[in-house]
Amino acid sequence: MDKSSELKLESKVSNCKYIFVVGGVISGVGKGITASSLARILSDRGQIVTAIKIDPYINIDAGTMNPTEHGEVFVLDDGDETDQDMGNYERFLGVDLSRTNYMTTGRVYQSVIERERNLEYKGACVQVVPHIPLEVIRRIENARDKVNADVVLIEIGGTVGEYENILFLEAARIMKLRKPNSVFFVMVSYLPVPGNIGEMKTKPTQHAVRTLNSSGIQPDIIIARSKMPLDEKRKEKLSMFCNVPIDHVISAPDVDSIYDIPLNFEKEGLGDMICGTTGMTCGPAINEGSIKWKKFAKSTHVKNNVVNIAIVGKYFNTGDFTLSDSYLSVIEAIKYSSYKAGSKPVLTWISSMDFEKDPKSINTLSKFDGIIVPGGFGSRGIEGILKTIEYARKHNIPYFGLCYGMQLMVIEYARNVLGLKDANTREVNPSSKNIIIDIMEDQKDKLEKKNMGGSMRLGAYPATLKKGTVAYKAYGSAEISERHRHRYEVNNAHREAIEGAGLVFSGLSPDGKLCEIAELPGSLHPFFLGTQFHPEFKARPLSPHPLFTAFIKACQKSKKNTK
Ligand code: GLN
């Protein structure tokens, strides 16, 4: 296929609208939340919406990226290890997305190179342009076809002017050229207020728009992020110098709760304006979905009934900052269940290594209503976590272990109740005589070959719950499906002995071979439960996760009883 005929190649006739969301000035101002909120309002207005995240990294997926730098690795049903923004989309939209909705530079190049090796370009000279942008477009259209979307929101990572995302902007430009009435651009920009001037400055945004213009793209809408709301004068300035109508400049000041943003956007007229601009036939701003959302958003402002939760892990700090972003889904899952139960959650991040350095400091845990040990890897801080779990078990503090937090909970039980003093996980001490948590059979080979990327047990798997258990009561059903990301599992050779000592494996894989949930019966502890899976990935604002809800209720109860 020669270049010109390929460029002319029209995709299937579709009325779908494509909205690209790009960043200006600085990153980290909430482009993902903006895209998610936009997705939410359009979906509430009756459109079938899907969202795509473009990460400009060479990495094939986020699984190999350091979460303390890049944020949480969000796992999808199909096992794709993606960026945390995918979690935002799923939560705001209330849908399950798939690997079609996530792309990285690595992925795009990988498929072009594979196709070239398969002679699919039929002898053409395969070039960065047009073949890379065309592959990006092919992927966007695949995501559209997957759900027959009316609207595809595409968030391009980073900010305009970065070398890394130029080819993605080029893809967007080509799409606009092909379908001028179906492709739109939203720039999420930032308006700083320099301390010595105290005035909100529009100039960086003007420059960002010029930079975008140099890629052949004109934004249709500017969402102006700032500390305070934008005044009329700044709106006029942005309109004039950035070449957008004044009602297309949307003020997006900082908010206490990100869940107010879809409501604020509607107040600013963004919903009506975007429907008008794109020519979509949209339902009204107030609708069934928006009413539910409003009720939820209101619940996020709860001020009393505090539940104090300690999150204990190996380390949360980098420099002077606590990187709670690496556990974004855990935080959100806690919030949804707390709000549902009418409580305000207060989270304290504790490094388990503190308990190793100063064993007496473990008593500080007494002031918490509940303790969570989230997922993790490696051996740092493990003894401190085991001490934490022992403390929670013995002092009847509700405990919820997620993945590693479940594996360590079983080890703690084996050590201190069953009396296997050197009980451990192969991950930490392969020469222990009592390997309670062992490498999964199909993971051995991968580990030996250093085949690390995308090779864990990933994604959604079903599990069956034992009737009458804490887990069963929480879910209200025996069949569940949850998302995973692990290499190790409970060693079946020790299962009987551990169960004999009182710990219950209340959730198993359907073939009974893999322990998915461990718990102490409700009669012995207010809440002592761990999951091999990551329940946090399926918690949604409008449908909080049943296990988090059960945990929060236990925290509320133990607070009443003890304080
Ligand atoms: N490191 C453990 C494993 O690989 C737990 C992983 C996790 O917590 N996600 O099995």
Whether 45 lines ligand 1, by a CB cut-off of 6 Å, is no
Whether 21-298 shares its CATH topology with 302-561 is answered yes
Report the chain's C-alpha Rg in angstroms: 25
> Which listed residue (403, 482, 525, 555) is catalytic?
403
Is 116 an active-site residue? no
Query: What pLDDT sits at residue 263?
Result: 96
- Burial of residue 420 (CB within 10 Å: 0-12, 13-18, 19+) is buried
As given in the structure block, the two tokens for residue 75 are 């796992």
- Tell which residue, 88, 95, 55, has the closest CA to residue 74: 88
183-190: strand order across its sheet: 102-104, 49-55, 151-159, 17-23, 183-190, 221-226, 249-253
Can you give the residue ranges of every domain in the chain? Answer: 21-298, 302-561
Whether 109 lines ligand 1, by a CB cut-off of 6 Å, is no
Query: What pLDDT sits at residue 159?
Result: 93
- Tell which residue, 253, 200, 198, 246, has the closest CA to residue 222: 246
Strand positions, DSSP E, 404-514: 424-425, 435-439, 457-465, 479-486, 488-490, 504-508
Residues 6 or more apart whose CB falls under 8 angstroms from that of 79 comprise 99, 454, 458, 459, 460
Query: What pLDDT sits at residue 446?
Result: 79
Query: What pLDDT sits at residue 130?
Result: 93
Half-sphere exposure of residue 553: CA atoms within 13 angstroms, side-chain side: 13
Closest CA to ligand 1's atom 6: 486
Query: What pLDDT sits at residue 4?
Result: 46
Residue 156 near residue 215, CB atoms below 8 Å: no
d(CA 315, CA 171): 40
Of 379, 429, 461, 488, best ligand 1 pocket probe by most atoms within 8 Å of the beta carbon: 488
Which of 3.40.50.880, 3.40.50.970, 3.50.50.60, 1.10.1780.10 would CATH assign to domain 302-561?
Answer: 3.40.50.880
Is 534 an active-site residue? yes
- CATH classification (class only), 21-298: alpha beta
Query: What pLDDT sits at residue 318?
Result: 55
Whether 410 lines ligand 1, by a CB cut-off of 6 Å, is no
Taking the CA of residue 489 as reference, the ligand 1 atom at the shortest distance is 10
Question: If you count DSSP H runs as helices and E runs as strands, how many of each does the chain have, helices first?
Answer: 20, 23
- Grouped pLDDT means (10 residues each) for the chain, 563 residues: 45 80 89 96 96 95 83 95 96 97 97 95 93 97 96 95 93 96 96 89 95 96 94 95 95 94 94 93 93 97 94 72 78 97 95 93 96 94 96 98 98 97 96 95 79 84 97 98 96 96 97 97 97 98 98 92 57
Cα-to-centroid distance, 1 and ligand 1 (Å): 47
Of 487, 489, 533, 537, best ligand 1 pocket probe by most atoms within 8 Å of the beta carbon: 487
Whether 76 lines ligand 1, by a CB cut-off of 6 Å, is no
As given in the structure block, the two tokens for residue 400 are 């919820």
